[in-house]
Structures are given as C-alpha cells and as structure tokens.
C-alpha cells in the first residue's frame, strides 16, 4: 500500500511538472507572437528649438525719412537681445529662420515683423500673421506690400536690398539625411473667409487674386546635387503638404501627418499642390551664389535625402499675395520615427 501510494505521489509530481513546463512554453510562444504582431514603439524627437520657448530679440532703428521708429524683430534662437542695425545670421545653431527682416534700399532702413512669440501656458508658441506692411515717407503712404508670416528651416540673406525676386533672398532648407515616418505639432488657425486674396507688391496697384487663402505647412525631403556650373538640382524623396482653409477656435494638439515617400502622384492623398516644383526655392551653391533649386522629378521611395524643406506660412499664395488677417499659431514641432 505504501509503495502504491508512493508511486501515485511520484506520478502526480511528474504530471505537475509537465503541466507547468507546458504552460510556461505556451506563455512564451504567446508573448513571442504578440511581440511579432505589435508595431515597433514610435520614437518622437523635437526639432532643435522646436518647442518655440526660446526667442532672440533684435532692436532696429528705421531711417528718419520713414519715421525713425525703434522696431523689434524676433528670431527663434537662444534667448538674447541684439541692439543695432546688424544683419542677422542664425544664432546658437538654430536651424530656423523667419520672415522678420531688415531691409536697406537706397540707404533707407526698413523692417518687417510678421512672426511673434506669444505666451502659451508656461511656455511660448509662434504666431505667424499675414498683414499689410506700409512704408510712409514724410507722413505719406509710399508703398504697401502683403507680408505673410513664415517660419522655416533655413536662413535669410540680410539686409534685403529690394522687393524683386524675394525667394532668392532665402536659403530654403538645411542638410538632412533621416527618413521620419511623420511630423507632429500643435496648431491653431484663423483664416479669412473671403473668396479672394490681395496681391500688393508696393510698385503696382493692388489687385485681387481669385480663390480663398489658406494657411500651409510644407515638408519636402530632397536629394540634391550640383553640377560643375553651380546649378543645383533635386529629386523629391518625401512629401507632406497640409493646408487649412477653416479657422479653429482652440488649439489642436499632437496632430500627426505621415510623410509620403517616392512618387505619390497615384496615391489617394495626392493633391496638385504637392506636385514637383510647385514654387521656386533658392539655396546657396558651393560658389557662394544664391541659385534656384531645380526639382526635376520623384526619387525612389528608399532613397536617402540630403536636405529637408520645412515651412509654416500664414498664406499659401507666394510672395506679396495673401489675405491680411490670417494667423497661424504653431508649437512643439516634432518628428516621429
């Protein structure tokens, strides 16, 4: 009887062990299968100064003939103040430039400010406005231009010497070899409801341009190269273009837009304003000259980019075209990998 009981006890212990190992093995298999099914955890990276909490202030005195006022210009850069009519170059390795500029034409110093820091909670955000900028000589209105607030990766060639070909005064884009999945940011918009925009260059009469204005966010990943003559060419590796034509009463936080790679012309997300060479942008070539970036086609989706163009703008129509009153607020600009 004792031997039988012992044999039953041994059998029971063996059975328990087998069942235990079977359960452990099943759990390990389940965990492995689940880990295979779950997507990889995303990595979110804030762009340098992309939290919009650091701003540099420039104090510039305009020429007496146009009033001689002290004006403030703001740059996304380490917190500091620069006093004097000094041409600005990006500070503190900040990759950002804005449409706030100092111009010096025929000896007359004039400024334009259309991008401002604005308090948001415990920090700051960027406020981009489309506005009419006037130059008054001896108390009279001399010229008026439409100035659309723009925040972009790149730099500005200061001082601005004229209104001809304004894009050539900007270096659009910076070196960039990564391939993020998406861009993420917080935003709020105010868009004018009129079904036309204003075109005003300051040297011709104001005209109306058909179509409602919209606020735009443009991201282009490009593979660029330069020929022996200094011409710069590019193929489009990645694309994300978003326009807003309706106002939002409150902030929209953590909005995430995927970046589309390769030729996207047959994708359902494709819009005409995502096309190749939708507008002319400029860069500085190896000879130090400002030259147009000639976008010549779509790159393969697995190509590695060399540069990124990223722009937030309060009007989509290009230089001197827009709807005064448009406003774009933006904050916390990040890439998702």
For 59-79, the three-class secondary structure string (H helix, E strand, C coil) is EEECCHHHCCCEEEEEEECCC
Give the pLDDT of residue 166. 82
And the tokens for 62? 């305009």
Give the pLDDT of residue 76. 98
The domains of the chain, with CATH numbers, are 46-336 (2.60.120)
And the tokens for 133? 């900028």
Give the pLDDT of residue 165. 83
Give the pLDDT of residue 203. 63
Give the pLDDT of residue 133. 82
Q: Which of 142, 316, 83 is closest to 73 using CA atoms?
A: 83
Q: What string of DSSP letters covers 253-318?
A: EEEEEEPEES--TTSTT--GGGSTTSS--EEE-TTS-EEEEEEEEEPPTTPPPSEEEEEEES-SS-
Angle ∠(268,211,141) on CA atoms, nearest 5: 140
Q: How far apart are CA 34 and CA 40, in angstroms?
A: 12
**How far apart, in Å, are the Cα atoms of 256 and each of 140, 183, 214, 302?**
47, 6, 19, 22
Write the DSSP symbol of residue 204: S
Q: Is 49 left (phi over 0), alpha (psi -120 to 50) or beta?
A: left
Whole-model pTM? Answer: 0.85
Q: How far apart are CA 99 and CA 129, in angstroms?
A: 10
pLDDT, mean of each 10-residue run, the chain (337 residues): 40 46 47 48 96 98 93 98 97 97 90 97 98 72 82 96 84 98 98 90 79 96 98 98 96 98 98 96 96 98 98 90 94 98
Give the pLDDT of residue 105. 84
And the tokens for 179? 């391939």
Give the pLDDT of residue 245. 96
**How far apart, in Å, are the Cα atoms of 151 and each of 40, 114, 231?**
32, 10, 26
Give the pLDDT of residue 317. 82
Judge contact between 116 and 330, C-beta under 8 A: no
Give the pLDDT of residue 19. 54
Q: What is the pLDDT of residues 251-300, one digit of tens each?
A: 999 999 999 999 999 999 999 999 999 999 999 999 999 999 999 999 99
Q: Using the structure block, give the residue that is written with the tokens 């309706």.
A: 246
Give the pLDDT of residue 80. 98
């Amino acid at each position: 009887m004792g031997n039988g009981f012992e044999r039953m006890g041994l059998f029971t212990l063996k059975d328990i062990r087998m069942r235990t190992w079977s359960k452990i093995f099943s759990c390990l298999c389940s965990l492995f299968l689940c880990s295979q099914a779950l997507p990889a955890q995303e990595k979110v990276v804030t762009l340098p100064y992309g939290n919009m909490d650091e701003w540099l202030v420039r104090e510039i005195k305009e020429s007496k003939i146009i009033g001689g006022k002290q004006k403030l210009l703001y740059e996304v850069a380490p917190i500091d103040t620069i006093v004097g009519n000094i041409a600005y170059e990006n500070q503190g390795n900040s990759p950002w430039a804005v449409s706030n500029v100092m111009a010096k034409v025929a000896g007359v110093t004039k400024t334009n400010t259309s991008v401002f820091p604005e308090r948001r909670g415990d920090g700051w955000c960027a406020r981009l406005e489309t506005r009419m900028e006037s130059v008054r000589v001896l108390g009279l209105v001399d010229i008026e231009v439409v100035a659309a607030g723009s925040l972009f990766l790149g730099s500005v060639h200061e001082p601005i010497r004229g209104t001809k070909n304004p894009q050539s005064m900007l270096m659009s884009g910076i070196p960039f070899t990564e391939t993020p999945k998406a861009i993420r940011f917080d935003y709020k918009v105010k868009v004018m409801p009129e079904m036309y925009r204003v075109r005003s260059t300051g040297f011709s009469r104001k005209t109306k341009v058909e179509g409602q204005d919209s606020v735009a966010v443009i991201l282009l990943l490009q593979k660029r190269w330069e020929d022996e003559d200094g011409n710069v060419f590019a193929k489009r590796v990645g694309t994300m273009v978003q326009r807003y034509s309706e106002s939002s009463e409150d902030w929209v936080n953590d909005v995430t837009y995927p970046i589309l790679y390769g030729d996207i012309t047959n994708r359902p997300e494709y819009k005409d304003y995502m096309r190749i060479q939708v507008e002319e942008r400029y860069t500085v070539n190896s000879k130090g000259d400002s030259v147009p970036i000639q976008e010549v086609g779509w790159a393969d989706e697995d190509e590695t980019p060399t540069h990124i163009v990223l722009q937030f703008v309060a009007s989509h129509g290009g230089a001197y075209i827009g709807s005064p009153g448009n406003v774009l607020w933006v904050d916390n600009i990040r890439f998702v990998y």
